[in-house]
Structures are given as structure tokens and as C-alpha cells.
Structure 1
Amino acid sequence: MNELIDLLLRASAWLAVGVLVLAVLRPVLLALGGAALAYRSWWLLPLLLLAPQLPMPAPVLEVVTLPVLTLGVLPGPVGATGDAPGWPLVCVLLWALGVAVVAWRSTRAQRGFQQALGRLTARADGSWQASGDPGLPALVGLWQPRIVVGPDFDTRFTSDEQHMVLQHERNHRRHGDHWANGVLLVLRCLFWFHPLLPWAARRFLRDQELACDARTIAPHPALRRLYATALLKAQLAHLAAPMACHWRSQPLLKERIAMLKQNERKTLPWVSGQVLLVGMCVSLGAVAWASQGGGGGVTTISAEPFATAQADAARAALDRPVQVDRMTPPTYPKSAVALRQTGVVTLQVDVTAQGTVQDVRVVSATNPGVFDAESMAAARRWTYQPALKNGTPVAASVRIPITFAMDESETHTENGA
């Protein structure tokens, strides 16, 4: 639970950094490279989300083999109370509920849009004609995207305008804009709580349309007026589907027409914009990758038994104390590695007469809250042999100190204390 929450918080922080950087630099990118460069700059967001998940060459995690030895026993009845679910579980459940709600609403909107299309008929130009018009023309679909036009497409647009409209939608398909919309939908589901994501999604879709307009009109600069006329003929009065690239875009109609009036850009500013974009992505991606930690040195994890195990068992009138068959090491938290935090967590594990774990509690911790969750999770995975009294398995408790250290010298210091 804690790892998932930590992952979401770190990803949200980097998502916010990326959105703010793009908001500040967007006017510069537009001036240097136009709408196409501004649209490509949105690659920064998935880069910042993926970079911290890439493995780092350091630090090297050296795990000390955990000894399978007799451990100290604390005699007494085993309590039946387990760990109560805390706030991490509540947070994860709320997040999952939000993801489900957003996904359901998006699926419902997409399904309603496709049902409103009605019957689709193949056209000679490679597009499909719908019997209804919930916001067409548009590129519809993800795996097999199709260009769908409205029932009045032939009467509303001239033949030249039809060619420009279809070329616009083909450019969407050729450059994978439908896949980009799919990634955006996934991000909107996973980060439904992020306050900056709605603005980023609207700005992304606007840049997508502006970039597609620029790609479509670039080979035909003399047809700008014709292209603008086609835009004016189609006004979007319907809600857009989450998985469609719409030709009609009334909210940014003025911006799209203004873009058509721009002259051809010179080579030098265009190259400068590309260099700026690549440098921004590489530098911020490197910072995000390095942020996952790694302060140098070697981390070690060790668990040591109490030296008085047999004496404790004798005082408790036990023939044999609880024994541990297999102890897989806990995970050294990334945040602790980054801050070079060390500590000792002493656990009390209640083991039933059948050798199963009934409860795990933290008795003491030199650095409270840092290693507790990982230590308890590891103890629950270990296998145990129950204590014996008069030759019969009985319930008992075992106390296990676990030492987290950054190098072997620190481990020896902790163990010798």
C-alpha cells in the first residue's frame, strides 16, 4: 500500500512540474517552431512519469543472507487481534474508486458517441458515412481508426473542401494522434485527482488540432482561405468523444484560423526550437531519473537472533522455541536509500501451534516509520516451526530484530551494540 501511494505521489509531483514547465515555455515554443513543436513538447509528461521507474546502476543492493537460527521467545498467550487497516488502505481504495468512476464515465461517453453515429456506409474515398452526426467529421477508434463523416458531408462541403477535411483526418491517423488520445485517457483515469491535469488535457487537445492543421496546410499554402472556409462551415455543438479526433473544434476556432495566417517559418528559429525541446526533455528526464535515490555506498539488510534464545525457552518451560525455516530479506526503502537512513526494527511475531503467523507487531524502532512496513511485510512471508512444550506444538511469540545499514561497518556496529 505504502509503495503504491509513494509511487502516485512522486508521479503526481513530476506531472505537475512538467505541466508548469510546458505552460511557461509554450509561447517560446510557438514562436520558434509553431504548433507542431508545441504539440511535440507534450512528450515531456510521459517521459517524466517513466524516467523515475528506470533502474539505476547504483546503489548496489547487497543483501546479507539471513541466518536460520533459534530466536528469542517471549512466553505467553497469543493475542487474536490483527493489524487494523490504516489510512494507506483507505487512500488506495479511494484512488481505485476514482479510477473506476472516470473510466466508466469515459467508456459511457465513447459508447454513446459511437451509438449516435448510427449505420456506417463505406465511401469511395476511404472514409465512412454515418447516418447520424454527433460531431463529425472525426477519426474514430483506437485499434482500427476510421474516418467518419456526417450524412450531409457531400452537400455541406465542396469537393476541394472535402479533400482538405479528409486529409486533416488522415494526418491525425498517420501521426498516431488517436494513440496519443488513448494515453491521455489512461492518465486522466490514473491521475483523476490531479488539479493541473484538466487544464493540461484541454491544452494538449488544442495543440493537437493546431499541429494537424499546420501539417495539412503546409503542402498547400495557397489553400489557406479554402481551409478556413471549411472550418467555418463546421461548428461543434456536441460533446466530443474521448477517443475521437474531431474536425470541428469550436472552442479554438479563432486560434486555428489565426494560425493559418502565419507565414512560413525560417530555418534558424525552427532549429533553435528543436534544440530547446530536446534539451528540456533530456535535462528534466535526467533529473527525474536521478530523483529515485542512490546516495552511493552499499546497502545491507540483516536480521540477528537473540543470544539468550535457549535460556528464554528454558525459563518458559519450552522444549524448543519458535524456529524460522526461511527468512527472505525485506526491501530497503528507496526513500531511505536516498536519505542514507539506517535503523533497527524489533518485531514480535506471534506464531500459532500450526506454525502460521497470526500477528506481527513493532516492539521498537530506532527510526520509527521508515522501515516498519517493509519489516512487517517480510516477517509475514517467513515460514516458522512452532514452539514445543512437552513434545506438543504450542502458540508462542518470537522477537526478531532487523538491522538496516548502508554498509557492512554499520551492520557490525548495530549488531555489536
Structure 2
Amino acid sequence: MNELLDGLWQASLWLAVGVVLLAVTRPLLVRLGGAGLAYRSWWLLPLLLATLLIPLPQVALLQHVPTLPLKVVPEAVEGLPASSLQWPLLLLLAWALGASLCLLRDLRAQRRFERGMGGLQARADGSWQASGDPGLPALVGLWRPRIVVGPDFDQQFTAQEQALILQHEHSHRRNGDHWANGVLLLMRAVFWFHPLLPWAARRFLRDQELACDARTIAPQPALRGLYASTLLKAQLVHPVAPAVCHWRSQPVLKERIAMLKQSKRKALPWVSGQVLVVGLCLGVGAVAWASQGGAMAAGPTVAVMDREIRVDKMPPPSYPKSAFEQSQTGVVVLRVDVDAQGAVSDVRVVSATNPGVFEAVSIAAARSWTYRPALKNGKPVAGAVRIPITFAMDESDDVTETAR
């Protein structure tokens, strides 16, 4: 439970770093590579979150991993206050409720938009014609994206204008923009509490439309004026469905028209632009990955220490109430990684003689312990300790450790 909350907190911090970095670098990216390069730079956010799921290499093992046994009996340990035990659960429930409500809201909006289209009829040009118009033309759907036009599409637009609109929506589908919107839907649900995500979502969707306009008009620059007038002929739409790529939306209309009026600028070659974006993503992702723990000691080499890890503060865990009521005993063996500052960087269960009973309280207690780090050549270094925790009903009980 605590690990999930810690992971959400760390992911939220790095998500904020990524959003701020993109906001700062966007003008430079647009100047160097145009709207397409700025849109591709949004890959930074999901890649940042993905790097946080990659575990760090294990710290180097000491020549002799110190063993610090600990015995816990009900009479010797004061139970933690009920409120401190409930806070993680309450926070987790609040996050789950918010994520569920946010996801349900977006799915209902998508369903409402699709119902507003009414019946669909296939057209000869490969698109679909709706009997209603909740904000068409648009690329609608995630698993089976379809280009849907309104009932007055043929009367509202000329043949050349229709071709431009369909090229625009085909470009959305070929580029996988509907999948990008699906990823955005999930991120908005998971990080519903994040203060920067609403702005990031709006800016992402605007860059998506600008990039699609640039891809559509690049092979036919002489049609810029016609493209702009076609945008103005469509009805005003405020996107309300998460898996819809609208032909025209009011919040970004002025920016799209302005982009079309600009003369074609010489930008970075496509490969150079890709290298720039990939380098940005990999660089920031590497920093985020390395930030998960303390020192990264590579390789399985064995280190000889001048001084082994020593205990600073090591309050014992609470005896679980359910285990006490059922007179359950057991041994949990932990491996605790300690960084060069003496703080706990990671806790793992090596073995447990009564699985599922004592592990949670053992890990929770271990994360609060502090140590004096091991010394090598007179300098503090990261290391690890092995801690068997015996849960006994009284001091005379001797619980056999079955796993090493």
C-alpha cells in the first residue's frame, strides 16, 4: 500500500518536471522543427513514467552481509495509533475513487458523443455519414477509429474542401493520434489530482491538431488559403469526447489559422529532429530512473569494508492484532539496502515462515529505520543488512527460522 502511494508521489513529481520542461522548450522546438517536432516531444511524459518502473541495479553485496536479529513480542511493542494505520488506506481509497470517477466521466462523454451521431452510413470515399452532428467531421473511436462526417457534409463543403478534410482525418489515423488520446485518457484518470495535467492535456491536443495540419498541407502548400477557409466553414466545436480528433475546435482555431498564414520556414531535417526529441526523452528519463534510489553500485563484485553497517534507530514493528488473537508466530527475514547516508533505500522479504501475516508490518517498520553506513577506505558507502525478525508470543518462545 505504502509502495503504491510512494510510487504515485514520485511519478507525480517527475510528471510535473516533464510538463515544465516541455513548456519551457516548446518555443525552441517549434522554431527548430515546427509543430510536428513539438508534438512528438510529448512522448517525454509516458517515457518518464515508464522509466520509473525499471528497477535499479542491486547494490554491491558486502563480503559478510551483517545479520541484525530482532525479536517482537506483544507485551514489548506498543501498537501504532489507529489513525496512522488508516491514513495510507484512506489516501489509497481517495485516489482510487477519484481515478474511477474521472475514467467514468470520460467514457460517458465518449458514449454521449457517439450516441449524438445517430445512425452511420458508409460512403464511397471510405468515411461514414452520421444522421446527427454533435461536432463533425471527426475521427471517432479508439479500437475501430472511423472518419465520420455530418449529415450536411456534401452541401456544406466543395469537393476540394471535402478532400482536404478527409486527408486531415486520415493523417490522424495513420499517425496513431487516436491511440495517443487513449493514453491521455488513462493518464488523466491515474493523475486526476495533478495540478499541471489539465494544462498539459489542453496543450497536447492543440499540438496534435497543429502537427496534423502541418502534415496535411506540407505536400500542397498552395492550398493553405483554401485549408484555412475550410476550417472557418465548419461549426464551432469544443471537444467533449476523449477518443475524438475533431476537424475544427474553437480553442485552437486562431493558432491553426496563424500557423497556416506563416511562410514555410526551413526547419531541421526530420532525422535531426527525431534525434533531438529522442535525446531529450532519454536524458530526462535516465535522470528520473537514477533518482529512484541512492548510490548505484554496478556489478556483482564483493566489497571488503573497513566497518560494517551499524544500527542507529531500529524501532520494532507492531505485532499484528489478528496474529495476536490467533496466537500466530513466525519469522520474517528482510534484506534492507542502506545508502551512503545511512537511510533505507529498499526493503525486500527474503523469506517468511508464516506467509501473509507478518510481512507488511515488517516492511513498514524497516522503512523507518536508520543506520550508520558501512565504511570503505574511510568513506561511507551503500550496503545491505539481513534482518531476521522473530514474532513470538513471549520472550521464552523460540521460533525456528526455516529459510535463509
**TM-score of the superposition, structure 2-length normalised?**
0.74
Q: Distance in 2 between matches of 1:355 and 1:53?
A: 26
1:109 CA displacement: 0.6
The Cα of 1:202 is off from its aligned counterpart by 0.2
Give the deviation of 1:356 after TM superposition: 10
In the alignment, structure 2 segments of 5+ residues that lack a partner are 311-326, 348-353, 372-387, 399-404
Give the superposition deviation at 1:263: 2.6
Aligned match of 1:375: none
Is the aligned partner of 1:135 residue 2:149? no
Aligned-partner Cα distance in 2 for 1:50–1:117: 37
Change in CA separation of 1:125 and 1:22 when aligned onto 2, cut-off 3 Å: same
Tell me if structure 2 keeps the 8 A contact 1:98–1:189. Answer: yes
How far apart are the structure 2 equivalents of 1:199 and 1:117?
29
Aligned to 2:106: 106
Query: What displacement does 1:238 show?
Result: 4.9
- Cα pair distance change 1:355/1:279, threshold 3 Å: closer
> Which residue does the alignment assign to 1:329?
333
Equivalence for 1:14: 14
- Cα distance in 1 for residues equivalent to 2:47 and 2:79: 48
| Residues 12-34 of structure 1 deviation map (CA, whole Å, 9 limit, x = unaligned) | 00000010011111111111111
1:35 aligns to 2:35 (yes or no): yes
Match for residue 123 of structure 1? 123
Alignment of 1:268-287 (within 5 A): 268=268, 273-287=273-287
Counterpart position of 1:93? 93
1:405 matched residue in structure 2:
none
Report how far residue 208 of structure 1 moved.
0.1
Shift, 1:289, TM fit = 1.2
* 1:172 is aligned to 2:151: no
Secondary structure class of the residue paired with 1:129: strand
Say whether residues 1:25 and 2:29 are aligned partners: no
After superposition, the Cα gap between the structure-2 partners of 1:236 and 1:77, relative to the gap in structure 1 and judged at 3 Å, is same
| Partner in structure 1 of residue 350 of structure 2 | none
Q: CA deviation at 1:264?
A: 2.7
1:97-155 per-position Cα deviation (integer Å, ceiling 9, x unaligned): 11011011111111111111100001111111000000101111111100011000000
Provide closer, same or farther for how the CA distance between residues 189 and 323 of structure 1 changes in structure 2, counting only shifts above 3 A.
closer
Higher deviation after alignment, 130-139 or 285-294: 285-294
CA drift of 1:294 comes to 4.0
Cα distance, 1:73–1:242 mapped onto 2, change above 3 Å: closer
Distance apart, 1:268 and its partner CA: 4.7
Counterparts of 1:208-287 in structure 2, within 5 Å, are: 208-268=208-268, 273-287=273-287
Q: Which has the larger radius of gyration?
A: 1
- Tell me the residue number matched to 1:4: 4
Q: How many angstroms does 1:54 deviate by?
A: 1.3
- The farther-off stretch of 258-267 and 271-280 is 271-280
Q: How far did 1:270 drift? A: 6.5
Cα pair 1:72 1:399 within 8 Å, conserved:
no
Write the deviation string for residues 174-196 of structure 1: whole angstroms up to 9, x where unpaired. Answer: 00000000000000000011000
What percentage of residue pairs aligned between the two structures are identical? 60
Task: State the secondary structure of the residue aligned to 1:136.
Answer: coil
SS of the residue corresponding to residue 329 of structure 1 reads: strand
Residues 113 and 268 of structure 1: is their aligned pair in 2 closer, same or farther, counting only changes over 3 Å?
Answer: closer
Residue type of the alignment partner of 2:149: V
Are 2:178 and 1:190 aligned? Answer: no
CA contact under 8 A between 1:142 and 1:178: conserved in structure 2? yes
**Is residue 239–residue 249 contact of structure 2 (8 Å, CA) maintained in 1?**
no
Say what the alpha-carbon RMSD is for the aligned residues: 4.2
The answer for unaligned runs of 5 or more in structure 1 is 303-320, 346-353, 372-377, 388-394, 401-417
Does the 8 Å contact 1:135/1:240 carry over to 2? no
**TM-score for both structures, normalised by structure 1:** 0.72
CA contact (8 A) 2:140 2:148 kept: yes
Identify if the C-alpha distance between structure 1 residues 79 and 224 changes in structure 2 by more than 3 Å, giving closer, same or farther: closer
SS of the residue corresponding to residue 45 of structure 2 reads: helix
Distance 1:355 1:232 in 2: 66
Match of 1:341 among 340, 343, 351: 343
Change (3 A) 1:342 1:210: closer
Cα distance, 1:262 vs structure 2 = 2.4
Change over 3 Å in CA distance of 1:134–1:366 after alignment to 2: closer
